[in-house]
Every structure is written in structure tokens, then in C-alpha cells.
């Protein structure tokens, strides 16, 4: 291997660290992925580790895929590869092999949030509890938190629901996401021989984003590393933002206590952002005193001064963002056309702003963020007046020009604290013909028609899956109502079927005890399992849509039906990746891959669209231009955090994450008033803004584009 591997001195120290526990404190944009990848290559090439004895755990499938591709380029395809994946994908591998120890067959299915809540609703109804009053999603949250903590609910009713929920999961031969780690940890704790097998298999463990691990993930790593103490974790406590999901910041803060012999390496050189952006990030994170000390620096000393824009309200905020995007994409000049009146056109050069700046009488802008909301003409606003009515005022209204140049739009992101902030932004983007994508909206695999098709597929893998059966047994309509399904469910729960053999239909179904439509449904599924072995997943999908009548059901001649059918056709495109496998193998891999997908895996950063996303969803990404909107007390930091210092600290880290996503341009925006919960309220600039010295910012102010 080359002497320095193309790494800086700190990265080289991390990559060539001796065996044993190592903590890499990697600041934002410091090249941690490269260091992690090169550490794996170093283990294989220099320390002669067998790749199969290396386990690398990441938090997204995308990160695991990128790491795998980098390693292949460095060591070649002929070599065996380490085991790489998310915590949950590693958990699946273990459960497929060891699940019988906790009552699971290897063909278990993974329930998503909808499946989980559907099962909980059934349980509540069976317990004579009203699901409207006792909401399934509340119990789902309690169960998830309990599994993250390796505990059980303290509340008596919640414990009863939890126990019944786990019992039914096992009867359905199903697991939820929490089980994918809870069960392996329980197996390791109760079966020392199994634990030893995996300790010998994975003699070296690497963990990315260690600051975001929860207790069950921490325990998983601790158990595996106990034998050889070869654990290499990478993280940044300044970017710990998932406490609401159960992540425990103490895991990274206490690493030295857990492993007193550990080596600590700090990666502080930033390769992403300019010095002006890093200076602001530093001021923000200084609001949190309890953290590992490190100071980011960069050789990119010059760059645009970050902008603080003081908007009149959320509409002015959105117009400012759209205007700046147009300036970036369509320089050197833009036109603002009057929508009504004399239709005069206003022109300005790239040195002008979409909105006029408004210095105070002394020429300073130091008190801009303290001003009260006023219209451009100086009149106090009638807060009862809606945005739409103000938009429709016929005098002095202006319309932003339409975007022409779409190249490079994927390098622009608008980040907000919560999704409710996106609505006005979307409307203005549409008005300006700026294409966008929203991360975290209705995901493809959550659409009704996609879930229907996936339920048919899951029944072929796991006939015990009553949630999938309930979903599709009467879709398309077959005259099988809730009462008929309840009869069938009781039959199936008392009938022992051979695992995976839908050809063995229960006698009560075969002899006509239940409706003939139910018998026909099972015979249809049985016929699908007899598809010739040489067929592939695409062949299976076509047969399901034909024999079930689902294609005809969707394509009913309506526009909505055709739209839903187009989504199903897109599923064919996804399934095409498995067309070279026999249908059974392809089906298993296909369903597992979909079940383990995260929101981060669905982000498309290559299409010419700007990205709208929450600050949480932006973690791990980078953009040339970042707009952070709604930087106000009660939004960032969020109102729910204001009474708890620990939660405020996480909100500050969230702001730090947002700022450090920016490579070249950063815009920080707060609105002087904002409509929330049906009423307009004056806003207070966030403490996060107040932490930034004014000389670090270019401050602009504007009202509505009137």
C-alpha cells in the first residue's frame, strides 16, 4: 500500500491505528467515509484480515452500498468482501439463520409501520378497546421505544398490548423493525455458543455514526466486540440529532469508559464548506458546552458571506428563496413583471437583490431582526388577512419570472424543522416553475396499490401473514367481508400448515365450510406457487396481476386508475433487478430489500430538482447552496424542546448539522410573523441566530414582493 494512502495526517492516524478499540471523532465534512473505507482496506491488505471476519455497520443502505463500491475499486472484485450493511440488515441475516431459537421460521416477513398499526388495531378491537380513543400509533410508539431500550412498557395496559402484539407477530411468522435487533441480542444473551460463533466470524467491527446508536444497537456492538475488543467507531457528538428515536449520546461520550485502552483520533479538517460557513457552524455549536472538543478548519479560506434574510412572513420567506434560486440559476439578470396595473417591467443586475434592502436611519443593519412586521409601504398588517387575499391584491403585485436553466438544481436544498413549513414553499416553487422533490412525503412503497401487490407477494413467501391476507383477500372485491374473514382467521390460527406450503389448504376451506370465494382465493395462491422454477420475479408479478384480477380492477377507465397502474408498472422496473434469479430467490431478496429501505435511500440527488427536506433528513448529505428557513424560537429550537435543556442541546446540534450541509452558499432565514394553527403570531428570532456575530453575516430584509 502507498505510504500515506492519499490521506491527511489525522486520517492516516485513524486508518493505521493499532488493533483494539478506536474512537474516531469525525467533524462534519472531514472525510470520515474515506477513512472508514481505507481502514477496511488496511485491515485486509496490511494486517491480513480475512474479509469475511470484518463487519461494517452503517445507518443507511446507501452508505453501505457506497462503501462496498469503494472497497471493490480498491481491492478488486476477486476478493471476498466484508459483511456491510445497516444494523437492521445485519439483524435480518442473523435471524434468518438463528430465528428458530425464538420461534421464527426463516421465511419470516418484516412488518412496516402500516402493518404494525393494523395488527395493533386488531388487538385493540379484540380487547374491546376503541381504536379511536386508544390510538394504535400511540401503542406502536411505546413498543418501539421499549424495544430500543431493551425494556418492556411500565403501564399495565401497554404491557398487556405489548405481550399480545409479540405473540401475534410470532403466530404470523413476522417481525417488526425493532425485533430485527432485539431478537439477535436476546439470542446472544441466552445462547453463548451462538454469540461465540458470531464473535469468531466477525473478529473486527466497524460502526459508522456511533453517536446515533440507541441502547439495543449499543448492546449488539458490545456483545459482538467483547471477545476480541476490536471495535472501530466513527462519530461526531456535535451531530447527534436522533434522541427522539431513542439514540443515546452517552454511547459516544462514554466510549473511553467502556474501553479504557481506546485510542482517540480527531478528524478536524473540513473538505466541504468554506471558512465563512464553518465560522458560523462553530458559533452555533459553542452553545453546547458538553461535547468532545474539536475545531473544524479548512484550506478553503475564501467564499461568499452567509446571508441572514429577515422576512416579513412565510410568504416573503418563500419568495426570497425562489428569487435567490432564480438568481443562481439564471444570471446575470432577472425580470419582475407587474401582474396588474400598467405592466411595467423592472430589471436588475446580479448585484441587485430580488428584494430591496432596508438599512436603518444610521445606515446600519444591526437591529433588523428586532423589527416588527410591516408591509413594504409602512402600513401595519391586518393579521386576519390571508396570504391568498394579499397575493390577489391588484395593485403593485409582482410575479417572479419562470426558471429557465435547470442544470445544477440538484445542488440546492431548502431545509426546515418540520414538514408543515413546506406548503408555502411548494406553492411559490410551482409559481416560479422551479422543479422540486420533497423527501419524506408519501413514499412509493406506501401507496395503496403497491402495498396491495406486495401483500400478494408476501403471502407466497409466508402463508401465516394474516395482515397481508386481510389486506388483499377482498381486493379486488370477492364478497369476502369482515365477518367471513374473522371465520377464516380463526380457522387458520388453529390449523397447522406446513411452512410455505400454500398448496395444503385447510380442510374447512377445502370442504366448503367457508365461502367458495375463499376457497377460490387459496387455490389461486396455490397455483402461483407452482410457477415453473425457471420463471423469474417479473413472470410472477404478471401472473399475480392476471390471476387475481388486480390489473383489471385498477384499470377501470378512470384517470386515477391509470395513475395507480403506472405506479404498479414502476414496480416492474424495480423487480427487473432480480430477473436473472429464479423467482423464489428473487422474491425473497426483493421483499427484504424493500422492507429495509429507509427515507435516505429514496432521495434522488441526480435529477434536476431542488430538494425540500427536514434538517433530520439532510444528515449525511451536502449541497452547494443551502437555505435554512424558519429559524425562530418555537420552530428551531422546537417548542417541545424549550423546557428541557437536553432537548434544546439537540436542537442546537440540528442547526449545526443544517449549516454544515452547505458547501458554497448559506442562507439563514427567519420570518417576523408566521401563521400557525390558524392564527398569525409574531416571531422571535432563534437563539441560534443570536449566537452568530453580525460581522459574519450579510444581513438583508424584505417584505412581501409588492
Q: Tell me the pLDDT tens digit for each residue of 483-497.
A: 888 888 887 777 644
549 is in an annotated binding site: no
Q: Would you call the peptide bond into 476 cis, given omega within 30 degrees of 0 as the criterion?
A: yes
At residue 334, the pLDDT reads 43
At residue 404, the pLDDT reads 85
Catalytic-role residue among 11, 32, 219, 622? 32
264 close to 8: Cβ distance less than 8 angstroms: no
As for how many domains the chain has, the answer is 4
Q: 60 and 39: one domain?
A: yes
560, 595, 630: which is the final residue of a domain?
595
Q: Would you call the peptide bond into 332 cis, given omega within 30 degrees of 0 as the criterion?
A: yes
> Whole-angstrom Cα distance, residue 617 to residue 615?
5
- Whether 155 is covered by a domain: the verdict is yes
Q: 153 and 46: one domain?
A: no
At residue 355, the pLDDT reads 35
Q: 318 and 263: one domain?
A: no
State yes or no: is 661 an active-site residue: yes
- Whether 364 is covered by a domain: the verdict is no
35 is in an annotated binding site: no
What would you measure as the largest C-alpha separation in the chain, in angstroms?
92
564, 595, 626: which is the final residue of a domain?
595
At residue 508, the pLDDT reads 60
268 close to 8: Cβ distance less than 8 angstroms: no
Instruction: Output the domain CATH number for residue 72.
Output: 3.40.50.300
Q: 572 and 611: one domain?
A: no
- Whether 670 is covered by a domain: the verdict is yes
Cα–Cα distances (Å) from 124 to 120, 168, 270, 300, 533, in that order, read: 6, 13, 52, 59, 42
State yes or no: is 515 an active-site residue: no
Catalytic-role residue among 661, 663, 674, 680? 661
At residue 397, the pLDDT reads 42
Pairing of strands 679-682, 673-676: antiparallel
- Report CA torsion sign: 103, 107, 113, 118: negative
Cell digits for 502? 400454500
Q: 132 and 245: one domain?
A: no
> Whole-angstrom Cα distance, residue 205 to residue 197?
14
Cell digits for 128? 374491546
- Whether 183 is covered by a domain: the verdict is no
- Whether 389 is covered by a domain: the verdict is no
Catalytic-role residue among 112, 208, 313, 314? 208
Instruction: Output the domain CATH number for residue 525.
Output: 1.10.486.10
> Whole-angstrom Cα distance, residue 438 to residue 614?
9
- Whether 16 is covered by a domain: the verdict is yes
Q: 540 and 467: one domain?
A: yes
Q: What is the DSSP letter of 443?
A: -
Strand ranges in 556-672 using DSSP code E only, listed in sequence order: 610-614, 623-628, 662-671
625 is in an annotated binding site: no
> Whole-angstrom Cα distance, residue 98 to residue 92?
10
Q: Which residues contact 479 (CB under 8 A, 6 or more apart)?
A: 515, 517
Catalytic-role residue among 112, 176, 209, 282? 209
Q: How far apart are the first and last CA of the chain?
A: 63
Catalytic-role residue among 13, 16, 33, 197? 33
Measured CA angle at 409 (ends 407, 412), to 5 deg: 150
702 is in an annotated binding site: no
27 is in an annotated binding site: yes
- Report CA torsion sign: 314, 318, 321, 323: negative
- Whether 647 is covered by a domain: the verdict is yes
33 is in an annotated binding site: yes
State yes or no: is 393 an active-site residue: no
Domain residue limits at 562: 444-595
Q: 644 and 566: one domain?
A: no
At residue 293, the pLDDT reads 80
529 is in an annotated binding site: no
Pairing of strands 610-614, 412-416: parallel
State yes or no: is 394 an active-site residue: no
Ranges under pLDDT 70 in the chain: 1-5, 78, 332-399, 441-442, 495-514, 599-602, 702-706
The CA R_g of the chain, rounded to the nearest whole Å, is: 28
Kindly give the residue spans of alpha helices, DSSP state H, lying in 601-696: 645-659, 687-690
32 is in an annotated binding site: yes
Q: 534 and 451: one domain?
A: yes
Q: 73 and 151: one domain?
A: no
233, 253, 270: which is the final residue of a domain?
270
Q: 608 and 591: one domain?
A: no
> Whole-angstrom Cα distance, residue 537 to residue 528?
12
Helix (H) or strand (E) holding 451: helix 448-461
Pairing of strands 231-235, 263-267: unpaired
At residue 356, the pLDDT reads 35
Q: What is the DSSP letter of 400?
A: P
Q: 284 and 420: one domain?
A: yes
- The Cβ of residue 48 has, within 10 Å, a number of other Cβ atoms equal to 7
Q: 554 and 575: one domain?
A: yes
Amino acid at each position: 500500500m502507498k505510504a500515506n494512502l492519499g490521506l491527511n495526517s489525522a486520517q492516516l492516524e485513524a486508518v493505521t491505528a493499532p488493533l483494539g478499540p478506536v474512537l474516531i471523532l469525525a467533524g462534519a465534512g472531514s472525510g470520515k467515509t474515506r477513512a472508514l473505507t481505507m481502514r477496511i482496506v488496511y485491515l485486509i491488505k496490511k494486517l491480513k484480515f480475512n474479509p469475511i471476519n470484518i463487519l461494517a455497520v452503517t445507518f443507511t443502505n446507501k452508505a453501505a452500498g457506497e462503501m462496498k463500491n469503494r472497497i471493490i475499486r480498491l481491492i478488486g472484485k476477486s476478493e471476498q468482501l466484508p459483511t456491510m450493511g445497516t444494523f437492521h440488515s445485519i439483524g435480518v441475516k442473523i435471524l434468518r439463520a438463528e430465528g428458530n431459537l425464538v420461534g421464527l421460521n426463516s421465511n419470516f416477513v418484516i412488518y412496516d409501520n402500516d402493518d404494525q398499526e393494523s395488527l395493533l388495531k386488531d388487538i385493540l378491537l379484540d380487547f374491546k378497546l376503541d381504536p379511536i380513543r386508544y390510538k394504535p400509533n400511540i401503542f406502536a410508539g411505546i413498543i418501539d421505544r421499549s424495544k430500543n431500550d431493551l425494556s418492556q412498557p411500565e403501564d399495565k395496559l401497554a404491557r398487556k398490548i405489548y405481550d399480545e402484539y409479540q405473540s401475534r407477530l410470532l403466530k404470523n411468522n413476522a417481525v417488526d423493525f425493532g425485533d430485527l435487533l432485539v431478537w439477535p441480542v436476546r439470542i446472544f444473551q441466552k445462547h453463548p455458543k451462538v454469540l461465540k460463533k458470531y464473535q469468531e466470524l466477525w473478529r473486527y467491527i466497524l460502526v459508522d455514526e456511533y453517536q446515533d446508536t440507541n441502547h439495543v444497537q449499543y448492546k449488539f456492538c458490545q456483545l459482538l466486540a467483547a471477545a476480541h475488543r476490536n471495535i472501530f467507531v466513527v462519530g461526531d457528538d456535535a451531530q447527534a440529532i436522533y434522541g427522539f428515536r431513542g439514540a443515546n449520546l452517552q454511547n459516544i461520550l462514554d466510549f473511553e469508559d467502556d474501553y479504557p485502552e481506546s485510542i482517540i483520533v480527531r478528524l478536524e479538517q473540513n473538505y466541504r464548506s468554506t471558512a465563512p460557513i464553518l465560522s458560523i457552524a462553530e458559533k452555533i455549536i459553542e452553545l453546547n458546552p458538553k461535547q468532545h472538543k474539536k475545531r473544524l478548519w479548512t484550506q478553503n479560506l475564501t467564499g461568499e458571506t452567509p446571508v441572514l434574510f429577515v422576512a416579513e412572513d412565510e410568504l416573503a420567506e418563500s419568495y426570497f428563496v425562489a428569487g435567490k434560486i432564480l438568481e443562481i440559476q439564471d444570471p446575470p439578470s432577472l425580470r419582475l413583471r407587474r401582474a396588474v396595473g400598467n405592466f411595467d417591467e423592472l430589471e436588475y443586475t446580479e448585484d441587485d437583490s430580488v428584494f430591496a434592502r432596508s438599512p436603518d436611519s444610521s445606515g446600519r443593519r444591526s437591529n433588523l431582526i428586532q423589527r416588527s412586521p410591516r408591509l413594504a409601504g409602512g402600513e401595519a398588517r391586518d393579521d386576519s388577512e390571508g396570504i391568498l387575499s394579499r397575493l390577489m391584491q391588484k395593485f403593485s403585485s409582482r410575479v417572479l419570472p419562470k426558471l429557465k436553466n435547470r442544470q445544477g438544481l440538484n445542488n440546492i436544498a431548502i431545509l426546515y424543522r418540520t414538514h408543515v413549513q413546506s406548503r408555502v414553499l411548494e406553492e411559490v416553487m410551482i409559481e416560479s416553475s422551479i422543479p422540486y422533490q420533497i423527501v419524506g412525503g408519501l413514499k412509493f412503497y406506501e401507496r395503496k396499490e403497491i402495498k396491495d401487490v406486495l401483500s400478494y407477494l408476501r403471502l407466497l413467501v409466508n402463508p401465516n401473514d394474516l395482515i397481508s391476507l386481510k389486506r388483499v383477500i377482498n381486493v379486488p372485491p370477492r364478497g369476502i367481508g369482515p365477518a367471513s374473514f374473522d371465520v377464516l382467521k380463526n380457522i387458520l390460527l388453529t390449523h397447522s400448515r406446513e411452512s410455505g406450503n400454500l398448496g395444503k389448504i385447510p380442510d374447512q376451506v377445502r370442504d366448503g365450510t367457508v365461502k367458495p370465494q375463499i376457497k377460490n382465493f387459496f387455490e389461486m395462491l396455490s397455483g402461483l406457487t407452482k410457477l415453473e422454477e425457471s420463471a423469474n420475479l417479473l413472470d410472477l408479478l404478471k401472473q399475480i396481476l392476471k390471476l387475481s384480477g388486480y390489473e383489471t380492477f385498477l384499470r377501470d377507465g378512470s384517470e386515477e386508475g391509470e395513475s395507480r397502474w403506472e405506479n404498479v408498472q414502476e414496480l416492474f422496473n424495480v423487480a427487473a433487478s432480480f430477473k436473472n434469479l429464479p423467482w423464489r430467490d428473487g422474491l425473497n431478496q426483493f421483499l427484504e430489500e424493500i422492507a429495509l429501505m429507509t427515507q435516505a435511500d429514496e432521495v434522488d440527488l441526480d435529477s434536476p430538482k431542488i430538494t425540500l427536506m427536514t434538517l433530520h433528513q439532510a444528515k449525511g448529505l451536502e449541497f452547494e447552496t443551502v437555505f435554512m428557513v424558519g429559524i425562530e424560537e418555537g420552530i428551531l429550537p422546537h417548542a417541545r424542546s424549550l423546557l428541557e435543556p437536553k432537548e434544546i442541546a439537540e436542537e442546537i446540534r440540528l442547526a449545526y448539522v443544517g449549516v454544515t450541509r452547505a458547501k458554497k452558499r448559506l442562507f439563514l432565514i427567519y420570518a417576523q410573523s408566521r401563521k400557525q394553527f390558524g392564527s398569525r403570531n409574531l416571531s422571535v428570532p432563534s437563539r441560534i441566530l443570536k449566537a452568530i456575530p453580525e460581522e459574519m453575516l450579510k444581513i438583508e430584509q424584505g417584505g412581501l414582493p409588492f
